[in-house]
Chain A
Amino acid sequence: MKSRRDFLKTAATGAMLLGSQSKLGLAAILDPRKSKVVVARDAALHSAEGQLDEKRVADLLDRAIAAFTGRDNPVEAWKRIVPVGKVIGLKVNGMGGKPIATHLALTLAICERLRQAGVKPGEIVVWECRRGDLERAGYTISTDRNRIRVIATDMEGFGHEEQPSTFGSVRVNLARILTRECDFVISLPVLKDHDRAGVTFSLKNFYGAIQHPDQLHANACDPAIADLNRIPALRDKFRFTIGDAMASIYQGGPVFRPEHLWYPNALIVGQDPVAIDTVGWKMVERKRAEMGLPTLESTGRPTTFLSSAADATHNLGTNDPDRIQLMEI
Chain B
Amino acid sequence: MLAVAAIILVAAAAGTGCKKKIVDPFPASGAVAGWEKTSETRVFAAKDLWQYIDGDAEQYLSAGVVSTSTSDYKYQGQLEATVDVYTMKDAAGASKILEKGQAKDAKTVPLGDAGVAYAQSVIFRKGPSLVRIVAYELTPDAQQALIELAHGVEAKL
- Chain B residue at minimal CB-CB distance from A214: B50
Known A-B contacts A97-B82, A213-B50; A258 and B120 likewise in contact (beta carbons under 8 Å):
yes
Give the one of A195, A254, A260 with max B CB within 10 A: A195
Q: Are A259 and B121 in contact (CB under 8 A)?
A: yes
Known A-B contacts A49-B138, A97-B82, A99-B136; A258 and B118 likewise in contact (beta carbons under 8 Å):
yes
Q: Are A97 and B136 in contact (CB under 8 A)?
A: yes
Contact of B55 among A194, A251, A259 (CB under 8 A): A194
Interface string of B52-83 (1 = CB under 8 A from A): 01111111000000000000000000001010
Whether A95 sits at the interface, judged by CB under 8 Å, is yes
Whether A122 sits at the interface, judged by CB under 8 Å, is no
Q: Are B58 and A260 in contact (CB under 8 A)?
A: no
Known A-B contacts A50-B138, A97-B82, A258-B120; A195 and B50 likewise in contact (beta carbons under 8 Å):
no
Binds A, one of B5-13, B18-26, B101-109: B101-109
Whether A305 sits at the interface, judged by CB under 8 Å, is no
Q: Tell me how far the C-beta of B110 lies from the nearest C-beta in chain A, rounded to whole angstroms.
A: 19
Known A-B contacts A259-B105, A259-B120, A292-B104; A50 and B137 likewise in contact (beta carbons under 8 Å):
yes
Provide the bound-state CA to CA distance between A103 and B101, in Å: 26
Interface of A is mostly: loop
Contact of A251 among B101, B106, B136, B138 (CB under 8 A): B101
Interface string of B100-144 (1 = CB under 8 A from A): 010111100000000000111100000000000011111100000
Known A-B contacts A214-B50, A260-B103, A292-B104; A255 and B136 likewise in contact (beta carbons under 8 Å):
no
Q: Are B121 and A257 in contact (CB under 8 A)?
A: yes
Q: Are A259 and B53 in contact (CB under 8 A)?
A: no
Residues of A in contact, count (CB < 8 Å): 29
Q: Are A256 and B136 in contact (CB under 8 A)?
A: yes
Q: Tell me how far the C-beta of A136 lies from the nearest C-beta in chain B, rounded to whole angstroms.
A: 8
Please name all residues of chain B whose beta carbon is closer than 8 Å to the beta carbon of A213 when the two chains form the complex.
50, 54-55
Provide the bound-state CA to CA distance between A213 and B56, in Å: 12
- Chain B residue at minimal CB-CB distance from A130: B51
Provide the bound-state CA to CA distance between A78 and B24, in Å: 52
Please name all residues of chain B whose beta carbon is closer than 8 Å to the beta carbon of A256 when the two chains form the complex.
134, 136
Please name all residues of chain A whose beta carbon is closer than 8 Å to the beta carbon of B120 when the two chains form the complex.
258-259, 261
- Chain B residue at minimal CB-CB distance from A251: B101
Please name all residues of chain B whose beta carbon is closer than 8 Å to the beta carbon of A130 when the two chains form the complex.
51
Please name all residues of chain B whose beta carbon is closer than 8 Å to the beta carbon of A260 when the two chains form the complex.
101, 103
- Chain A residue at minimal CB-CB distance from B138: A50
Provide the bound-state CA to CA distance between A98 and B136, in Å: 7
Q: Tell me how far the C-beta of B154 lies from the nearest C-beta in chain A, rounded to whole angstroms.
A: 20
Please name all residues of chain B whose beta carbon is closer than 8 Å to the beta carbon of A196 when the two chains form the complex.
55, 58
Interface string of A95-114 (1 = CB under 8 A from B): 10111000000000000000
Provide the bound-state CA to CA distance between A98 and B72, in Å: 13
Known A-B contacts A214-B54, A217-B58; A258 and B101 likewise in contact (beta carbons under 8 Å):
no
Please name all residues of chain A whose beta carbon is closer than 8 Å to the beta carbon of B121 when the two chains form the complex.
257-259
- Chain A residue at minimal CB-CB distance from B120: A258
Please name all residues of chain A whose beta carbon is closer than 8 Å to the beta carbon of B54 when the two chains form the complex.
95, 207, 213-214, 254
Contact of A195 among B55, B82, B104, B136 (CB under 8 A): B55
Q: Tell me how far the C-beta of B50 lies from the nearest C-beta in chain A, rounded to whole angstroms.
A: 4
Whether A318 sits at the interface, judged by CB under 8 Å, is no
Q: Which of A244-273 contact B (CB under 8 A)?
A: 251-261
Q: Are B59 and A195 in contact (CB under 8 A)?
A: yes
Closest 10 CB pairs of A and B: A258-B120, A214-B50, A259-B118, A259-B103, A254-B55, A255-B56, A50-B138, A252-B101, A255-B53, A258-B121
Using CB atoms and an 8 Å cutoff, list the residues of chain B in contact with chain A: 50-51, 53-59, 80, 82, 101, 103-106, 118-121, 134-139
Apart from A195-B56, A214-B50, A259-B105, 8 more pairs, CB < 8 Å: A99-B137, A213-B55, A214-B57, A254-B54, A254-B56, A258-B118, A259-B118, A260-B103
22 pairs of residues in contact across A and B, judged by CB atoms under 8 Å: A95-B53, A97-B136, A98-B136, A130-B51, A194-B55, A195-B59, A196-B58, A207-B54, A213-B50, A213-B54, A214-B57, A217-B55, A251-B101, A253-B55, A254-B55, A256-B136, A257-B121, A257-B134, A258-B135, A259-B105, A261-B120, A292-B104
